Chains A and B, each alone.
Chain A
């Protein structure tokens, strides 16, 4: 039995539907991220699970018990808010104690839990501070500590890192996952940041326009996405329209590639920029794997790699090349090699929502 079972949850605002029937199971101890662009319904879903927003239909079970008609205070769920939502009129310690007092936890037990939470969130020494005297990162950790002292069946995170600067976000991301493992909590984490989702999650639930598009581990979703939206949203990719015949497909400029699954007729595939080989040295080589001549039209140096825009036929491709080699200047002719077993995509998410990630190849 799953820890959290969400069955056909919907949310309507008047005549417009914000959430189409969403179903999701989260196992005990799992860290699941709900990923999607803003307005995709991910926060609505989280708030419905918490009970601070009401669903229009469907069922939620936590540890086997139906909770969707309970008020939030009786659900045994704790939540970390994007705004932290610390009580501004209470000290750090009073903030942590608030929930324990509400749940009538004995005094001695309160003390142990608070001390433990302060310790693992590295907040010792700040107990008598007011929230406004803390930095953003410290406030975020207080919000986290306030949730974990409750020792809930389920921890919910609503984009808790999005108000922090990039470096702090990176550190706290790792701390958060380590903490999740240590306390063994079941967590659902909402974010629009695909890097965050991939770095933290056991599984990712990709949402768009009020629907679940695809669910899988970060590796599955990145390497072999089934949906065009997933391929475009998780990392960068080239989405190509191809003509398939069985396990082979012909690219717009005539070259053929291997597919991971069988398909017949027009199909869409995703090719990651880093999986395309770029060979500047001998453009006239016409081995089986090498393409027709392509031209580098742009280059951006990213530090660990370089991202090239390459024009081949009528198509612009993104190609990333790792390593400290000399950059290939724009205008050079290059040859491209493609990996085998490329994933064939379905198109369930009607609107891809993002400008980058495969947009270049869309013209084909």
Chain B
């Protein structure tokens, strides 16, 4: 071994290079380039104009709000479906194996296909509308509506399998004996769920919530296809700016979206580590 390699100050960066270097090159590099790009005028001089536009222009502000709305609303709906679903999957019923295979199918479907499916099924004059028309019913406006119901439906459809997968394994990781112990100590099935199972599954549940939130906040295809033309999230506005060749504006918007996602992640980790501290150290088994 050459002497230079025995020097720890040199050895350490060398050993870290494959991992950290990769991150720096393919994640840090573009990020830094985008950040620098977002602070430049056409002639290369420094400016904050692009950021000021995001926080002053009504369409941009609305876009930021819409991004957050499209991030939060589907997650809440998905959570309300996924938790009962993961509890149901835990039980034994005929066809359980088939079902737990089938429910993961949406994971494999790209967002744009989901958007098109929602249009075909829920659009006025679409599948359901025509099916209920002979009965004298009409479908309310669900696609490109002001509340973005279509976007929420499509995101939820795509998120539920992922969320259910994570939450199911979070519940499955709780030993059967702990559930039984709670029952033997006088807790009903519901109390056991609320007081023992939910707290123990919490790390998994929050992880699922955050990952789906970040995913749907940044998604482009679904809000573009089934979202209302009046309220467009930042992701959709970014593409519009991109098509007009205003790259610094695109970079700035991207930075704001990323910063928001990172802020949520950091908040999550500081929150969970605080809870972990209150519980002693480390995380729950």
Q: CB within 8 Å of B: which of A85-141?
A: 85-89, 98-99, 102-103, 129-130, 132-133
Please, which residues of chain B bring their CB within 8 A of the CB of A79? 180-181, 184
Residue of B nearest to A102 (CB): B186
- Cβ distance B44 to chain A, nearest Cβ, rounded Å: 56
A144 within 8 A of B: no
A197 within 8 A of B: no
Rounded to whole angstroms, the CA-CA distance of A173 and B189 in the bound complex is 33
Rounded to whole angstroms, the CA-CA distance of A224 and B285 in the bound complex is 48
Please, which residues of chain A bring their CB within 8 A of the CB of B36? none
B49 within 8 A of A: no
- Whether the pair A73, B184 counts as a contact (CB closer than 8 A) is yes
Query: How many A residues touch the partner, as a band?
Result: 20 to 34
Please, which residues of chain B bring their CB within 8 A of the CB of A78? 184-185
- Cβ distance A268 to chain B, nearest Cβ, rounded Å: 40
Please, which residues of chain A bring their CB within 8 A of the CB of B186? 73, 99, 102-103, 150
B178 within 8 A of A: yes
- Cβ distance B102 to chain A, nearest Cβ, rounded Å: 26
- Cβ distance B283 to chain A, nearest Cβ, rounded Å: 10
- Whether the pair B185, A88 counts as a contact (CB closer than 8 A) is no
A339 within 8 A of B: no
B258 within 8 A of A: no
A83 within 8 A of B: yes
Rounded to whole angstroms, the CA-CA distance of A50 and B176 in the bound complex is 14
Please, which residues of chain B bring their CB within 8 A of the CB of A129? 280
Please, which residues of chain A bring their CB within 8 A of the CB of B200? 88-89
- Whether the pair B185, A52 counts as a contact (CB closer than 8 A) is no
Rounded to whole angstroms, the CA-CA distance of A47 and B184 in the bound complex is 11
Rounded to whole angstroms, the CA-CA distance of A150 and B181 in the bound complex is 12
- Whether the pair B196, A85 counts as a contact (CB closer than 8 A) is no
Question: Can you give 7 A-B contacts (C-beta < 8 A)?
Answer: A85-B175, A85-B181, A88-B178, A88-B284, A102-B187, A129-B280, A132-B285
- Whether the pair B279, A98 counts as a contact (CB closer than 8 A) is no
Please, which residues of chain A bring their CB within 8 A of the CB of B188? 71, 73
Residue of A nearest to B188 (CB): A73
B177 within 8 A of A: yes
Question: A85-B175, A85-B177 known; 19 other A-B pairs, CB under 8 Å?
Answer: A50-B184, A52-B183, A72-B180, A73-B185, A77-B184, A79-B184, A81-B180, A83-B177, A87-B178, A88-B284, A88-B285, A89-B199, A89-B284, A98-B182, A98-B187, A99-B185, A102-B187, A103-B186, A130-B280
Give the dominant DSSP class at B's interface: helix
Residue of A nearest to B174 (CB): A88
Rounded to whole angstroms, the CA-CA distance of A51 and B180 in the bound complex is 9
Please, which residues of chain B bring their CB within 8 A of the CB of A98? 182, 185, 187, 195
A192 within 8 A of B: no
Q: A81-B177, A88-B200, A89-B279 are in contact. Are A72 and B184 (CB under 8 A)?
A: yes
Rounded to whole angstroms, the CA-CA distance of A146 and B186 in the bound complex is 12
Query: How many B residues touch the partner, as a band?
Result: 20 to 34
Rounded to whole angstroms, the CA-CA distance of A82 and B178 in the bound complex is 11
- Whether the pair B280, A133 counts as a contact (CB closer than 8 A) is yes
Residue of B nearest to A75 (CB): B184
Please, which residues of chain A bring their CB within 8 A of the CB of B175? 83, 85
Residue of A nearest to B285 (CB): A88
Please, which residues of chain A bring their CB within 8 A of the CB of B183? 51-52, 71-73
Residue of A nearest to B280 (CB): A130
Please, which residues of chain A bring their CB within 8 A of the CB of B169? none
Contact with B along A56-87 (1 / 0, CB 8 A): 00000000000000011100011101110111
Rounded to whole angstroms, the CA-CA distance of A52 and B189 in the bound complex is 11
B191 within 8 A of A: yes
- Cβ distance A90 to chain B, nearest Cβ, rounded Å: 9
- Whether the pair B280, A132 counts as a contact (CB closer than 8 A) is yes
Rounded to whole angstroms, the CA-CA distance of A132 and B279 in the bound complex is 10
Residue of A nearest to B275 (CB): A89
B282 within 8 A of A: yes
Q: CB within 8 Å of B: which of A239-289?
A: none
Residue of B nearest to A73 (CB): B186
Please, which residues of chain B bring their CB within 8 A of the CB of A89? 196, 199-200, 279, 284
Please, which residues of chain B bring their CB within 8 A of the CB of A88? 178, 200, 284-285
Please, which residues of chain B bring their CB within 8 A of the CB of A82? 177
Please, which residues of chain B bring their CB within 8 A of the CB of A47? 180
- Cβ distance A104 to chain B, nearest Cβ, rounded Å: 9
Please, which residues of chain A bring their CB within 8 A of the CB of B282? 132
Rounded to whole angstroms, the CA-CA distance of A72 and B187 in the bound complex is 9
B178, B189, B279, B280: the one contacting A85 at CB < 8 Å is B178
Contact with A along B191-202 (1 / 0, CB 8 A): 100011001100
Please, which residues of chain A bring their CB within 8 A of the CB of B181? 79, 81, 85-87, 146
Question: Which of B185, B189, B191, B195 has its CB near the most chain A CB atoms (within 10 A)?
Answer: B185
- Whether the pair A130, B185 counts as a contact (CB closer than 8 A) is no
Please, which residues of chain B bring their CB within 8 A of the CB of A52? 180, 183-184
Rounded to whole angstroms, the CA-CA distance of A102 and B282 in the bound complex is 28
The 4 closest A-B pairs by CB, nearest first: A99-B185, A102-B186, A130-B280, A85-B181
Please, which residues of chain B bring their CB within 8 A of the CB of A86? 178, 181
Contact with B along A329-356 (1 / 0, CB 8 A): 0000000000000000000000000000
Please, which residues of chain B bring their CB within 8 A of the CB of A146? 181, 185
- Cβ distance A125 to chain B, nearest Cβ, rounded Å: 16
Rounded to whole angstroms, the CA-CA distance of A128 and B223 in the bound complex is 50
- Cβ distance B279 to chain A, nearest Cβ, rounded Å: 6
Rounded to whole angstroms, the CA-CA distance of A86 and B184 in the bound complex is 12
- Whether the pair B191, A102 counts as a contact (CB closer than 8 A) is yes
Rounded to whole angstroms, the CA-CA distance of A14 and B253 in the bound complex is 62
Residue of B nearest to A76 (CB): B186
Please, which residues of chain B bring their CB within 8 A of the CB of A130? 279-280
- Cβ distance A163 to chain B, nearest Cβ, rounded Å: 12
- Cβ distance B174 to chain A, nearest Cβ, rounded Å: 9
Question: Which of B186, B187, B188, B284 has its CB near the most chain A CB atoms (within 10 A)?
Answer: B186
